[in-house]
Chains A and B, each alone.
Chain A
Amino acid sequence: MSEVPLTHILFLSTCLFFIGIYGLFTRRNMITMLMSIELMLNSVNINFVAFNKYLYPEKLDGIFFTIFVITIAAAEAAVAIAIIINLYRSHHSIDVEDATEMKY
């Protein structure tokens, strides 16, 4: 069975990345926005792994980086959700459109 070429994977990751961006731009729900950011980070992870495996198999930098990214993403999500919960307390909504007091 022939191996999947790198370009396919890069294509996948890029799609994932832009889907994430699209989601971030369009969805009003903060949680969903967080999820789309996760998507973007995941595409990054895919990139790292793929590059590592295909181009530089002799070192494991990419893999390590991925692990760190995953952890940090988790931390980020944790803090973000905490903030969002606190925001919900005051605004009674997690619609991003409702949190636009400060402008101009």
Chain B
Amino acid sequence: MSHPIYIALIPIIPLACFFVLGLFGRKYFTNSAGIIGTLGLLSSTLLSLVTAYEYFFVSGKINGVYQKIEVVKYTWLEFSKGISIDMGILIDPITVMMLVVVSFVSLMVHLFSLGYMKGETRFATYYAFLALFTFSMLGLVLSSNIFQIYLFWELVGVSSFLLIGFYFEKPSAVAASKKAFIVTRFADLGFLIGILILSFYSHTLDFGVLIERLTSTGSPFLIAINAASFLGVSALTWGLLLVFIGGAGKSAMFPLHIWLPDAMEGPTPVSALIHAATMVVAGVFLVARLFPVFAISNPEALQVVMYTGAFSAFFAAVIACTQTDIKRVLAYSTMSQIGYMMFALGVSKYHGEEGLGYMGSMFHLFTHAFFKSLLFLGAGAVIHMVHSNEMKDMGGLRKLMPITHLSFLIACLAIAGIPPFSGFFSKEEILMASFESNKLVYAVALLTSGLTAFYMFRLYYSIFWSKEADTHQAHHGEGTWTMKIPLILLAILAVVAGFAPISSWITADGNPINSSVPISFSVLPVSLAIAGILLATRLFKTSNELPQRIAIQLGSFYTAASRKFYIDEVYIFVTKKVLFNLIGRPAAWFDKNIVDGLMNLLAKLTASLSELIKGYQSGKVQDYALYFFGGIAGLIIAFIYLWK
């Protein structure tokens, strides 16, 4: 069952678009750039759909188990025997799912941007960047080699940098892009060292071989890597944790999440693509990719993943309740939802039914991609109309933009986990899995889902209800059809995606599992969600001063939450004060004064020495004769005393 090469085209088409638009866009395709990009992406979306069909229904399954299939493999850079970066394509359930998600959402964003970014001076450049990002993200999910994934990892990072900083004249945008890049870069450092460790012991960089060598019981590599330890922790744990740090950085897990809210400086469609659906789940994808190693050989590391995810989920939800910038609210909700996926992986095991968490996580990743990007696009439409991100500038927009309103509502219901919307199903699986393995996490998850419902509807009401819309906004309409179509499509998906038989497709070990959740179980979370919704309705449906009063009641906690618990301040302190003032400045000073000063000092010493002895050349011929005589005497003395 050889897979045809068209899979390779899926990333290559966007790359081609990037080069075309990037090199000639500004001159030749100033207006047609959008169309070109969209068409290009349309084709790769179709290709990926075909791939999915091929894989899931035709060729992927061998005697009931979905296989890892390596389509292409091409040695790109050989470090030493066996250790080489290969450019390869690895097809397995999660890859295929990611292919579909990435290409589809990206297509939607392309489409939406046609209207949203209309009239931008750097329209073509924008599409070039989008194409670049799509290429790198697709390459990332297709990677068959851990170093290859790192490579695309970096590319994704830089294209996100470029897109966040797209409005490069806005200092805040520049700062945000820098922050995003540097924080993720810092996390990538962990990833890199993790790769170094894993590759050193497993003598390979290829995913298949790596996983095989580090999971099969009694393989010499596994023994070696477990034997080696540093600070009492085995090398394997170190490796996996460091890799996870990389993932946490991209997926904005606490405490590496600070870049995500600021990243909203970028154009809203970009946020929808990168910071909701695709790049931010790369971390989850990475952990899922290495899941066998985590689950089989090193559950300790998996514990860390679980707790990090759970905490981030809750933490972000709390902050989200207090934010007033709608995109920031969405950003924190994204963080919280990714937290869900993470701890779902954390609670999961490898084999059979125990792999429910894994499956749930992937399921949630799938559904979340749709409704979250829908939310962002909706927010984009709103911002496009109101020209502001602040809730206070909004309200009562439901009449002005019915489609947006409806789709937004659907998305909110989905994320809140109300049946029969997609979010409900995936969330149920996750809750189920955590309930079975870890009650604490389960409790946190429940609480978080309640909070989620609350803040999402807080958002919903304060955009579309609360006060009456001021009429002066009426004149510009809801936006072009190119902006509406994606909303509608995504809304449909947000409804139906939940019925996709993910459980029979994407599981940890490839065997389909039965994932039916008893109604009795789902009562509690759903009712919590409804409670959250009702609370939000009470507070925000019509504008009243209750929220303020509650805020005052909560007092310092509320302010702390609204200030994002001062994490940013901590980072600012560390970078500005510690890095710059305590290391950078002294280093520069040391170099300027000590090291360089030493060199100059030598020169000065020589000069002053020559000043010192100039007196011997006194100009008196008698002194010369004297020194002459002294020289002879000196030679005699030196000879007597020094010569052995």
Q: Which residues of A contact B (CB under 8 A)?
A: 21, 24-25, 33, 96-97, 99-104
Residue in A21, A96, A104 whose CB lies within 8 Å of B621 = A96
User: Which one of B145-153, B160-168, B218-226, B622-630 is at the A interface?
Assistant: B622-630
Tell me whether A100 and B629 are in contact (CB under 8 A).
no
Most chain A Cβ neighbours within 10 Å, of B614, B619, B626? B619
Residues of B within 8 A of A99 (CB): 621
Most chain B Cβ neighbours within 10 Å, of A33, A96, A97, A104? A104
Most chain A Cβ neighbours within 10 Å, of B614, B615, B620, B629? B620
What is the minimal beta-carbon distance from A81 to any residue of chain B, in angstroms? 16
Residue of B nearest to A101 (CB): B619
Question: In the bound complex, what is the Cα–Cα distance between A100 and B623 (angstroms)?
Answer: 11
Question: In the bound complex, what is the Cα–Cα distance between A96 and B619 (angstroms)?
Answer: 10
What is the minimal beta-carbon distance from A17 to any residue of chain B, in angstroms? 11
Tell me whether B626 and A104 are in contact (CB under 8 A).
no
Question: In the bound complex, what is the Cα–Cα distance between A97 and B317 (angstroms)?
Answer: 97
Tell me whether A102 and B625 are in contact (CB under 8 A).
no
B617-644 interface mask toward A, CB cutoff 8 Å, 1 = contact, 0 = none?
A: 1111110011001000000000000000
Tell me whether B619 and A100 are in contact (CB under 8 A).
yes
Question: In the bound complex, what is the Cα–Cα distance between A16 and B312 (angstroms)?
Answer: 105
Residue in A21, A24, A103 whose CB lies within 8 Å of B619 = A103
23 contacts across the A-B interface (CB closer than 8 A): A21-B625, A21-B629, A24-B622, A24-B625, A25-B622, A25-B626, A25-B629, A33-B622, A96-B620, A96-B621, A96-B622, A99-B621, A100-B618, A100-B619, A100-B620, A101-B619, A102-B619, A103-B617, A103-B619, A104-B614, A104-B615, A104-B617, A104-B619
Known: A96-B621, A99-B621, A102-B619. 11 other contacts (CB 8 A): A21-B625, A24-B622, A25-B622, A25-B629, A33-B622, A96-B620, A97-B620, A100-B618, A103-B618, A104-B614, A104-B615
What is the minimal beta-carbon distance from A96 to any residue of chain B, in angstroms? 6
Residues of B within 8 A of A24 (CB): 622, 625
Question: In the bound complex, what is the Cα–Cα distance between A25 and B630 (angstroms)?
Answer: 12
Residue of A nearest to B613 (CB): A104
Residues of B within 8 A of A97 (CB): 620
Residues of B within 8 A of A21 (CB): 625, 629
B379-420 interface mask toward A, CB cutoff 8 Å, 1 = contact, 0 = none?
A: 000000000000000000000000000000000000000000
Question: In the bound complex, what is the Cα–Cα distance between A50 and B615 (angstroms)?
Answer: 42
Residue of B nearest to A28 (CB): B622
Question: In the bound complex, what is the Cα–Cα distance between A104 and B612 (angstroms)?
Answer: 11
Residues of A within 8 A of B625 (CB): 21, 24-25
Question: In the bound complex, what is the Cα–Cα distance between A100 and B615 (angstroms)?
Answer: 13
Question: In the bound complex, what is the Cα–Cα distance between A25 and B623 (angstroms)?
Answer: 8
Q: Which 5 A-B pairs have the closest CB atoms?
A: A103-B619, A100-B619, A104-B614, A104-B617, A100-B620
What is the minimal beta-carbon distance from A43 to any residue of chain B, in angstroms? 15
Residues of B within 8 A of A96 (CB): 620-622
Question: In the bound complex, what is the Cα–Cα distance between A21 and B629 (angstroms)?
Answer: 9
Residues of A within 8 A of B622 (CB): 24-25, 33, 96
Most chain A Cβ neighbours within 10 Å, of B617, B622, B625, B626? B622
Residues of A within 8 A of B615 (CB): 104
Question: In the bound complex, what is the Cα–Cα distance between A42 and B618 (angstroms)?
Answer: 30
Residue of B nearest to A21 (CB): B629
B592-621 interface mask toward A, CB cutoff 8 Å, 1 = contact, 0 = none?
A: 000000000000000000000011011111
Residues of A within 8 A of B618 (CB): 100, 103
Question: In the bound complex, what is the Cα–Cα distance between A25 and B629 (angstroms)?
Answer: 10
Question: In the bound complex, what is the Cα–Cα distance between A97 and B619 (angstroms)?
Answer: 9
Question: In the bound complex, what is the Cα–Cα distance between A24 and B621 (angstroms)?
Answer: 10
Residue of A nearest to B629 (CB): A21
What is the minimal beta-carbon distance from B239 to any residue of chain A, in angstroms? 70
Residue of A nearest to B616 (CB): A104
What is the minimal beta-carbon distance from A80 to any residue of chain B, in angstroms? 12
What is the minimal beta-carbon distance from A28 to any residue of chain B, in angstroms? 8
Residue of B nearest to A33 (CB): B622
Residue of B nearest to A26 (CB): B622
Question: In the bound complex, what is the Cα–Cα distance between A99 and B619 (angstroms)?
Answer: 8
Residues of A within 8 A of B619 (CB): 100-104
Question: In the bound complex, what is the Cα–Cα distance between A96 and B614 (angstroms)?
Answer: 20
Question: In the bound complex, what is the Cα–Cα distance between A1 and B461 (angstroms)?
Answer: 146
Residues of A within 8 A of B629 (CB): 21, 25
What is the minimal beta-carbon distance from A25 to any residue of chain B, in angstroms? 6
Question: In the bound complex, what is the Cα–Cα distance between A36 and B18 (angstroms)?
Answer: 97
What is the minimal beta-carbon distance from A36 to any residue of chain B, in angstroms? 10
Residue of A nearest to B615 (CB): A104
Question: In the bound complex, what is the Cα–Cα distance between A21 and B622 (angstroms)?
Answer: 10
What is the minimal beta-carbon distance from A65 to any residue of chain B, in angstroms? 22
What is the minimal beta-carbon distance from B628 to any residue of chain A, in angstroms? 10
Question: In the bound complex, what is the Cα–Cα distance between A7 and B614 (angstroms)?
Answer: 43
What is the minimal beta-carbon distance from B615 to any residue of chain A, in angstroms? 8
Residue of A nearest to B619 (CB): A103
Residues of A within 8 A of B621 (CB): 96, 99
Most chain B Cβ neighbours within 10 Å, of A21, A97, A102, A103? A103
What is the minimal beta-carbon distance from A56 to any residue of chain B, in angstroms? 27
Question: In the bound complex, what is the Cα–Cα distance between A48 and B603 (angstroms)?
Answer: 52
B60-91 interface mask toward A, CB cutoff 8 Å, 1 = contact, 0 = none?
A: 00000000000000000000000000000000
Residue of A nearest to B610 (CB): A104
Question: In the bound complex, what is the Cα–Cα distance between A29 and B626 (angstroms)?
Answer: 16
Question: In the bound complex, what is the Cα–Cα distance between A24 and B615 (angstroms)?
Answer: 21
Residues of B within 8 A of A100 (CB): 618-620
Residues of A within 8 A of B620 (CB): 96-97, 100
Residue of B nearest to A103 (CB): B619
Question: In the bound complex, what is the Cα–Cα distance between A100 and B619 (angstroms)?
Answer: 5
Residue of A nearest to B618 (CB): A103
Question: In the bound complex, what is the Cα–Cα distance between A68 and B178 (angstroms)?
Answer: 92
Question: In the bound complex, what is the Cα–Cα distance between A82 and B284 (angstroms)?
Answer: 104
Question: In the bound complex, what is the Cα–Cα distance between A24 and B618 (angstroms)?
Answer: 17
What is the minimal beta-carbon distance from B619 to any residue of chain A, in angstroms? 3
Residue of B nearest to A37 (CB): B625
What is the minimal beta-carbon distance from B632 to any residue of chain A, in angstroms? 11
Residues of A within 8 A of B614 (CB): 104
What is the minimal beta-carbon distance from A38 to any residue of chain B, in angstroms? 15
What is the minimal beta-carbon distance from B627 to any residue of chain A, in angstroms? 11
What is the minimal beta-carbon distance from B216 to any residue of chain A, in angstroms? 85
